[in-house]
Amino acid sequence: MANPFQEQLLKAGLVSKQKVRDTKTQKRRDRKAKVDDGSEALKQEIAAKKQAQIAKDKALNEQRFAQATEKGQVRGLITEFKRLAVDVPKGAEVKFNYTLGTKIYSVYITDKLQSQLLNGQLGIVRYEETSYLVPHKLAERVHLLVPEWCGYLWQQDAQAETVAEDDPYADYVIPDDLMW
């Protein structure tokens, strides 16, 4: 043995030969694990898989859009959300911001419309540079068929509260109508 300390422990009977072999095997495995085995190639492989998945998802979305267009659903949606859109009064003073893609859009609404948006009764759909306040179910359908048009859609999962038992701020209510 190359390690005199191991030899002393073995002679004293504090460790067995099997334990010494296991230790050597574990050391060898640890050394091999630390060796750079082409992690750059692995990173490139993962990035290529991600790009392939993105391309596959994009093709699937285009296929769904094409199928919906063939069925006339998209055209029907457009006429439906133009027909069912909630009219915003001209004197609305509350600015409601929402994101669509990477852009931030604003729409001026009343307090009543704001509470309906935040409670999940309405959604915002943006089509041809115009924002429409539509019923929530219609906004969900638009989100399923053409997600690029759905500007704001209240979802229960995003609003679910998880309160930890030892949360020091549990007694303080956070208002859900904060505007940014």
Confidence at residue 120, expressed as pLDDT on a 0 to 100 scale:
84
| d(C-alpha 136, C-alpha 151), whole Å | 12
Question: Count of CB atoms within 10 A of residue 149's CB?
Answer: 20
Confidence at residue 158, expressed as pLDDT on a 0 to 100 scale:
44
Residue 76 structure tokens: 């029907």
Report the 3 state secondary structure along the chain: CCCHHHHHHHHHCCCCHHHHHHHHHHHHHHHHHHCCCCHHHHHHHHHHHHHHHHHHHHHHHHHHHHHHHHHCHHHHHHHHHHHHCCCCCCCCCEEEEEEECCEEEEEEECHHHHHHHHHCCEEEEEECCEEEEEEHHHHHHHHHHCHHHEEECCCHHHHCCCCCCCCCCCCCCCCCCCCC
Residue 36 structure tokens: 């750079």
Confidence at residue 50, expressed as pLDDT on a 0 to 100 scale:
94
Confidence at residue 17, expressed as pLDDT on a 0 to 100 scale:
87
| d(C-alpha 166, C-alpha 155), whole Å | 27
Kindly give the confidence (pLDDT) of every residue in the chain, 180 residues in length, as a single tens digit, with 9 standing for 90 and above: 467 888 888 888 888 889 888 988 988 888 877 655 567 777 888 889 999 999 999 888 888 777 766 666 666 777 776 777 777 777 788 888 888 888 888 888 888 888 888 888 888 888 788 888 888 888 888 787 777 777 777 776 544 455 566 778 777 777 666 665
Considering only CA atoms, give the Rg of the chain: 30
pTM equals: 0.48
